[in-house]
Amino acid sequence: MNSISFPNIDNENLPKWEGDLAPLECIEIIEETHNVKSFRFKSQKDAWFQFLPGQHTTLFLNIGGAEVMRTYTIASSPTRPHTITITSKRMSGGVVANWMHDNLRVGDCIDALNIGGSFSVALDNPKKKVLLMSGGSGITPMLSMTRYFVDLAINVDIVFVHNAQTPEDLIGKYELDYYAHHQTNFDLHYVCDKAHAIWQGESGFLSAEMLARMVPDFLDREVYCCGPEAYMVNAKTLLEGGGFDMNHYHQESFDIESSTAQHNMAEPHEESLDTPEFSGEVVEYNVTLTETGKTILCPSNINILAAIQKQGIGVPFACSMGMCGTCRVKMTEGTVDMDAQGGLLKSHEEEGYILTCCSHPTSDVVLDL
Ligand code: FES
């Protein structure tokens, strides 16, 4: 008779998962809403995941023969460390999310980068009262933080305000409603842009009046915010307008959900990404891009991504901080000074890949770009 095969969960004797250890194996796919799915993964080799709630990883997918990278916040909690869950929304033109929805199956394996990122309540010294604000699929770090708080029975007073387009677009609603009913100090508010007549929550664009009504003590809270750029700009404006001390405001530092390589290639940054702390003699080096057939000059105090963008050449990037891996490119000649913040696997570094957003040339350089 078949019996259950229990995995080893003895963390003392299990390696911590890192991207180089093993691919992620999809073990479950959950339909969250009509256009949102959660993909649950375990390490293909027994391992446990050590991360902080709110952090992210970057998936490497092969789509139509091309390797594509995409950064996703982990929605699950590090308190359940033997699997991680990524929640992704199907979007019009969304190459990676749509591919995952249509093609990723239980049993499939994909490579991913080490987990990293600085957006986490566990990295701060927050007040005992927090306000979690999320728009659309920006809910994922808030879900991770909420699950973490609940699992560890942390003494915290949470107000969770989540915005969605319609009630049918609310992600994690059953679980959050459960917490709202069973947890003390967990106050939950949904705001839907459009709602039908029977909807009993707030509806419309998040306004100052709405915020004051739902969270009258928002001035006393540590705020964590994630969502589309327009949502976060509005949230910041409302808080600042209400006299909030923005030293206690935290937001995801880049728009993970929309920052696909394709998006950024179409809209290269105009702003300088120079390294202000650079000291020493500035030397100009040639950076040759073999695929585009161009050679540009890059001073040693400017990162290679910025130098390329200054020439109006669109290249993939997302975080610009060495974390997400989107700007990864193979360097076939030359040397760089690189300050990667977890966005590059050791194995890829050994193969000659660099992250252009945090690499400064120390010689002439040739890139497969
Ligand atoms: S753009 Fe994210 S690592 Fe370079």
Task: List, in sequence order, the alpha helices (H) in the chain.
Answer: 95-103, 139-151, 173-182, 208-214, 229-241, 261-266, 304-310, 346-350
Other CB atoms within a 10 A radius of the CB of residue 188 amount to 21
Does the Cβ of 256 fall within 6 Å of ligand 1? no
Report pLDDT for 253.
59
Q: What is the pLDDT of residue 279?
A: 62
For ligand 1, whether the C-beta of 318 sits within 6 Å is: yes
Distances (CA, A) of 19 to 78, 115, 147, 255, 342: 16, 8, 24, 22, 10
Fold equal for 11-112 and 261-367? no
Which pLDDT does position 32 carry in this prediction? 97
Q: What is the pLDDT of residue 127?
A: 96
Distance of CA 173 from the midpoint of ligand 1 (Å): 33
Architecture in CATH for domain 261-367: Roll (3.10)
User: Is 172 near ligand 1, meaning CB less than 6 Å away?
Assistant: no
Cβ of residue 355 lying under 6 Å from some atom of ligand 1: yes
- Which residues in 133-162 are b (16+ Cβ under 10 Å) and which e? bbbbbbbbbbbbbbbbbbeeeeebbbbbbb
The full set of domain ranges for the chain reads 11-112, 121-251, 261-367
Tens-level pLDDT at each residue, the chain (369 residues): 689 988 888 888 999 999 888 999 999 999 999 999 999 999 999 999 999 999 999 898 889 888 788 889 999 999 999 999 999 999 888 888 999 999 999 999 999 988 888 889 999 999 999 999 999 999 999 999 999 999 999 999 999 999 999 999 999 999 999 999 999 999 999 999 998 888 988 999 899 999 999 999 999 999 999 999 899 999 999 999 999 999 999 998 555 444 443 344 433 333 344 444 556 788 999 999 998 889 999 999 999 999 999 998 888 787 888 888 889 999 999 999 999 877 888 888 999 999 999 999 999 999 998
Domain 121-251 part of CATH 3.40.605.10: no
pTM of whole model > 0.75? yes
**CATH number given to 11-112:** 2.40.30.10
Protein residue with least CA distance to atom 3, ligand 1: 322
Q: What is the pLDDT of residue 202?
A: 93
Pocket test for ligand 1, best of 271, 324, 349 (most atoms within 8 A of CB): 324
Q: Is 84 in the pocket of ligand 1 (CB under 6 A)?
A: no
Sign for the CA dihedral angle at 159, 165, 166, 168 comes to: negative
DSSP string, 239-274: HHHTT--GGGEEE-SS-TTT--HHHHHHS---S---
